[in-house]
Structure 1
Amino acid sequence: MTLLAVQVLMWIVVGAAATGFASWLAHRSYRRFLRKSRGPVSKSLGRGDVPTKLDTLIDPLEAQFPCQSGLATLLDNADAFAARALSAAQAGRSLDLMYYIWRTDVTGWLLLDALVAAADRGVRVRLLLDDVNVQGFDPAFLALTQHPQIEVRLFNPTRNRGHVVRRTFEMLLGLARFNRRMHGKLWIADGRLAIIGGRNIADTYFATLDADTRNSVDADMLLVGPKVDAVAALFDSYWNLGLSMPILALWPGFKLNRTAFRHRLARHVGSAPSRHYLARTLDSRTPEAVLAGRLHWTDKVQLLADPPDKAYGNHSAAWMSTAIADILTNAQSEVRLITPYFVPGQAGISGLTALAARGVKISLLTNALAATDMLLVYGAYRRYRGALLAAGGSIHEFSPLPKNGRKRDMLHSKVFVIDGRQAIVGSLNFDLRSAFTNTELGLLFEHPTLVADITGMIDALSAPDQAYTVSRPDHALQWTVARPGLPKLMYVEPEASKLQRAISWLVGLLPIQAYL
């Protein structure tokens, strides 16, 4: 070995050691910060002496169906907004909310206004947001948490705010920690009603019809009854985790003019887009119709959720991905799944092909290259579609025609249907990040009408005018297309650019699936 090579090797070793030591110091400092700055423990509020509007709405139904839970599908984006807005308006005790993304756009401001209005009535509001998507939006949430009835906490936050260079170094030195995100979506009103599913809070999930906003096709479940207690306890476990930090702990001494914030909030809520959206989504909907009128009652409901300490990297048999794997293993005839991102890893694809080998019909609906918002993830998905098709599975790639000059809709639902009898709706994508890194939650349930709703959604989204059919005759992939101006059969991803195809092909060669 030459002297130059020895010197280069020494510098590499020294650099690696220095980086490791710096990472250790950063981790130690961060843990001290967490212990010193964490907020007080708090619990979900139990029922008080005076019933709230939600209590009055739900009590007669629960009396009619004792020991059962009421469920309704929220498949329409406008209905999903209405359920959240109306439940906030009816709440009289508490609102406990947990979200991966909360944008300050039209619907984001409208729902923030609903929280402030509830807090003004004396409702306690706890809002837990994953930190990775709050950066840049801190002032709105800092103002919100200064209301005496509202507390905002951030999950697994970076300490450095408003300084890109310092924040970047913190992220790099703590990459393993920073990579673990709270991906679940949860809305609880008065401890009596919960909304669980795939929707974050942003215009794309609530059909604002803004030409600059893509419509995301998604699915939530509305839940009332005794199972809400388990959902509330899960929220408490995340809220009181040492990684959930009061937002003010990250901005010590921060003060914002609350009057100015109220004016800003009123300006957004009173804007023409906000007024038009509210008129379209709420004017014809009542709390009785949206929150109670479509409920179906069953005793076969189970909360599936990752424990919050998954964010520490603590492996557990209680992980949601493990529970779903067990459920799928017991499938007898059919598994249908919707996932916007399909990166199952070797264990996941082996499990699906083993099911197919014993006669279980496997069908996948995911985003096409022309529709996906995650080009890199599509590249990773390329590695697995051939194996699924070779095993006899079917694949549809969602890519509807753009409507009225808007951007093409995309798929964001996370849904499983097993044997036409059970369904799972939640936040878990069929990918390695959801399985091993992020925290997820969802509902497993059985009810013929509810499962039929989900199955009907899958059928509609897989129709020829909405999706391509991918097949593999003679070991070559082909897409069956029903689009004006396009061939009925194509041998490259339809309606995608050459650059998109090239990038996705290149990503498919890289061993980075676990990080996508």
Structure 2
Amino acid sequence: MRKLHLRRLMWIIPLVLLLLIGSGLLLADRLTPAASGQPSHALPVAGDPTTLDREAAPLLQAHPGQSGVLWLSDGLDAFAARSVISQRAGRSLDVMYYIWKDDIPGHLMAHELYQAAERGVRVRLLLDDLNMHGFDPAMAAIDAHPNIEVRLYNPFRNRGGLWRLVEMVQRVFSINHRMHNKAWIADNQVAIIGGRNIGAEYFDAREDVNFRDLDLLLLGPSVGQASAIFDDYWNSQAVVPIAALNPHTRQQLDALLQTVDMESQLTQAAPYLARIGQRLAEPTLRQDHVIQWSDSVRVLSDPPLKHRKAQRDDWLVQAIVADLGSSRRQMQLISPYFVPGRNGSERMIAMRRQGVAIEVVTNSLAATDVAAVHSGWNSYRKPLVAAGTTVYELKRRGPRSGIVLPLGSSGASLHTKAYLVDGRRGFVGSFNLDPRSANLNTEMGVLFDDDALGARLQREFDFLAHPDRSYQVSLDGQGKLQWTDGDGQRYHHEPDTRWWLRAWVGLLGLLPIESQL
């Protein structure tokens, strides 16, 4: 009898899964909660000047038509910059992120939005829904404030439990398209665009993580471009107000505020609050800050309904491919997940034969947090190195420090997404050089064509590629891969990893999953 039940289950379970997925394909986007938010748009720089208006005015007058760029490579500075421009905003805050962690930095950032709303600032917060599971109460709580609205990109109809899992199976294809954009825009006057999400590891405050990321603080015309992108997403059919999915109460908001008050007294919050205090003691846009000015800065993004469009003319990948393909002498790539694909790899090898110097910085296997992506990189690494591509792989914090998990490292090193072409054309943003960023997720970033900005990004590349931080990957005398440390020590397998992790990555490399990486 038991065998009979097992046989039935063996065909019933696959049949149920097939029916769920099939119904998802047939019903397509009708399974997605309908967009029900009222349209709204960025508030113009008008009326009584805000603190940010007054600080920006003399700088913008001295550089008419140009965009100012301030580099935020230090994690605590990146955190403080978001806090300070929020505290000095007097009109609006428009914020969009892929991940907003339910941790101390996430709570402190949410509190900044609440405090701004208390001053009368209009706050629009747009989050991708994939990572919101369990964080709904906090976000629904701040949505309860009359000056704050929270919306979710491509949300789950079911907010938790078994039905959420059922929906994930049924919508396995449509739920795979995520909003990976990152932007923090204050008063339509200052914008922070880059690679960081909101969470402890993105702001260099966790001692067990050697993390590197990069944001750009922008002034001038490029801020208007960022605001227009935000409006496109905010008003798109892929976005739903959280209030339509999850009701909130005043009690939830009070509970969140009490949590933030308690957490602000903890030692873990001290580095964030101390850096905010330092930055609040000076103007946000000091004249002596190293702000670089250029008339060749653009903020670009994928369309919010990218996954529903057959035409790719306005996809971000098109601009990036054209930029990289225009290289005549040098191309330097920084990507935590690097899977160039067959066409990309062949193009890079052809460019090497034409004399273009190509350098790549990416995570080592010991440092990556997604081992499956590293399995995709494995397929292209050796041919690229053999063709003369210089490859650097970032180390972990230290040999065998932290925990290396089957799915990836608990101490990833690199999160910066950038490239530099011929020393002057570059990009900083959310776009990984992999199939997921190209085809599945929406992405956003800053493109420039400027010698001074190129020189600054060159310094970032050199910092990452330094032997203290990265292994250089090359071929030994037998044509096998080897990793060279700063002291000349050579490794003949992935450094700082166990055999079972290398075997797991090899197994993943046999699966037809590259399009999802």
Q: TM-score, normalised by structure 1?
A: 0.91
Q: Distance in 1 between matches of 2:303 and 2:29?
A: 23
Q: How does 1:134-153 map to 2 (within 5 A)?
A: 134-153=132-151
Aligned partner of 1:224 in structure 2 is 219
1:148 is paired with a residue of what secondary structure? coil
- With over 3 angstroms needed to count, the CA separation of the structure-2 counterparts of 1:352 and 1:90, relative to structure 1, is same
Q: Shift of the alpha carbon at 1:503?
A: 0.8
Which string of whole-angstrom CA distances, capped at 9 and with x for unpartnered residues, describes residues 97-143 of structure 1?
00001112121111111111111100000000000111111110000
Whether 1:272 and 2:275 are equivalent positions in the alignment is no
Q: Shift of the alpha carbon at 1:458?
A: 1.2
Residues 83 and 290 in structure 1, CA contact (< 8 A), matched pair in contact too: no
- With over 3 angstroms needed to count, the CA separation of the structure-2 counterparts of 1:21 and 1:285, relative to structure 1, is closer
Letter in 2 for 1:471: S
Aligned partner of 1:495 in structure 2 is 496
Equivalent position to 1:185, from 178, 182, 186: 182
Which string of whole-angstrom CA distances, capped at 9 and with x for unpartnered residues, describes residues 442-471 of structure 1?
111133333222211211211111111111
Aligned partner of 1:439 in structure 2 is 442
Aligned partner of 1:351 in structure 2 is 347
Q: Shift of the alpha carbon at 1:315?
A: 3.8
1:297 is paired with a residue of what secondary structure? strand
- With over 3 angstroms needed to count, the CA separation of the structure-2 counterparts of 1:402 and 1:16, relative to structure 1, is closer
Residues 402 and 408 in structure 1, CA contact (< 8 A), matched pair in contact too: no
1:194 is paired with a residue of what secondary structure? strand
Q: How does 1:275-314 map to 2 (within 5 A)?
A: 275-283=270-278, 286-288=281-283, 293-314=289-310
Aligned partner of 2:89 in structure 1 is 91
Q: Shift of the alpha carbon at 1:286?
A: 4.2
- With over 3 angstroms needed to count, the CA separation of the structure-2 counterparts of 1:18 and 1:371, relative to structure 1, is closer
Aligned sequence identity (%): 40
Whether 1:510 and 2:505 are equivalent positions in the alignment is no
Q: Which moved more, 1:282-291 or 1:229-238?
A: 282-291
Q: How does 1:449-488 map to 2 (within 5 A)?
A: 449-473=452-476, 474-482=478-486, 488=489
Letter in 2 for 1:41: P
- Unaligned 5+ runs, structure 2: 1-7, 403-409
Q: Shift of the alpha carbon at 1:13?
A: 11
Residues 109 and 269 in structure 1, CA contact (< 8 A), matched pair in contact too: no
Q: Distance in 1 between matches of 2:461 and 2:30?
A: 48
Q: Distance in 1 between matches of 2:495 and 2:257?
A: 48
Q: Distance in 1 between matches of 2:274 and 2:165?
A: 43
Q: Shift of the alpha carbon at 1:257?
A: 4.2
Whether 1:34 and 2:63 are equivalent positions in the alignment is no
Residues 432 and 514 in structure 1, CA contact (< 8 A), matched pair in contact too: yes
Residues 153 and 244 in structure 1, CA contact (< 8 A), matched pair in contact too: yes
Q: Distance in 1 between matches of 2:473 and 2:283?
A: 43
- With over 3 angstroms needed to count, the CA separation of the structure-2 counterparts of 1:389 and 1:240, relative to structure 1, is same
Equivalent position to 1:412, from 405, 415, 424: 415
Residues 55 and 285 in structure 2, CA contact (< 8 A), matched pair in contact too: no
Q: Which moved more, 1:20-29 or 1:113-122?
A: 20-29
How many residue pairs align between the two structures? 500
Q: Distance in 1 between matches of 2:263 and 2:18?
A: 51
Q: Distance in 2 between matches of 1:401 and 1:51?
A: 46
Letter in 1 for 2:154: N
Aligned partner of 2:257 in structure 1 is 262
RMSD across aligned positions (CA): 2.5
Residues 24 and 31 in structure 2, CA contact (< 8 A), matched pair in contact too: no
Q: Distance in 1 between matches of 2:190 and 2:13?
A: 56
Q: Distance in 2 between matches of 1:356 and 1:362?
A: 7
Q: TM-score, normalised by structure 2?
A: 0.91
Aligned partner of 2:64 in structure 1 is 66
1:454 is paired with a residue of what secondary structure? helix
Which string of whole-angstrom CA distances, capped at 9 and with x for unpartnered residues, describes residues 357-395 of structure 1?
211111100001111111111111100101211221110
- With over 3 angstroms needed to count, the CA separation of the structure-2 counterparts of 1:382 and 1:264, relative to structure 1, is same
Q: Distance in 2 between matches of 1:170 and 1:408?
A: 32
- With over 3 angstroms needed to count, the CA separation of the structure-2 counterparts of 1:446 and 1:167, relative to structure 1, is same
Letter in 2 for 1:478: Q
Q: Shift of the alpha carbon at 1:154?
A: 0.7
